[in-house]
């Protein structure tokens, strides 16, 4: 079942994020299915904490980015979404490589969305499990 109400190519989704925090962190939308959206981010000096590991706040930013844009694509043209709660469990330390975040809907209501975002490393090991609640607003 296709959940998308707004049709954007991956190139268009990436263009929406040019010049903002998403662009600064190197988050790139790389794949989309009928009911999921995926983005990647490289772990480097911009995304690690002083001990050289992926910063937990950056994992949260990656999760909220992919979940929020997925939610935005699921609402009517005159609507947008805003994050109201994010829970992220950091399950495994990461010191390098590419992270892949995949957002899938748990519930798509008229006023609230809940998204599950799993962040995996290049070996497909789950590193962070996040749940994002979005409020649907009129623009």
- Asked if 38 is an active-site residue, the reply is no
Catalytic residue among 18, 28, 64, 76: 64
The residue whose two tokens read 């469990």 is 89
SS3 121: coil
| DSSP codes, 46-88 | TTB-TTSSB-HHHHHHHHHHHHHHHHHTTS-TTEEEEEEEEEE
Q: How far is CA 79 from CA 60, 88, 139, in A?
A: 24, 26, 5
Q: What positions carry a catalytic annotation?
A: 64
């Amino acid at each position: 079942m296709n959940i998308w109400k707004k049709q954007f190519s991956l190139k268009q989704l990436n263009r929406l994020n040019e010049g903002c925090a998403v662009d600064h962190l190197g988050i790139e939308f790389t794949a989309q299915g009928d009911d999921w959206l995926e983005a990647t981010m490289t772990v480097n000096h911009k995304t690690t904490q002083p001990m050289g590991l992926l910063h937990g706040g950056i994992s949260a930013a990656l999760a909220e980015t992919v979940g929020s844009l997925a939610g935005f694509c699921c609402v009517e043209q005159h609507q947008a979404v805003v994050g109201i709660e994010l829970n992220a469990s950091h399950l495994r330390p990461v010191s390098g490589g590419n992270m892949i975040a995949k957002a899938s809907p748990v519930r798509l209501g008229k006023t609230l969305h809940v998204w599950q975002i799993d962040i995996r490393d290049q070996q497909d090991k789950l590193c962070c499990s996040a749940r994002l609640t979005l409020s649907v607003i009129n623009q």
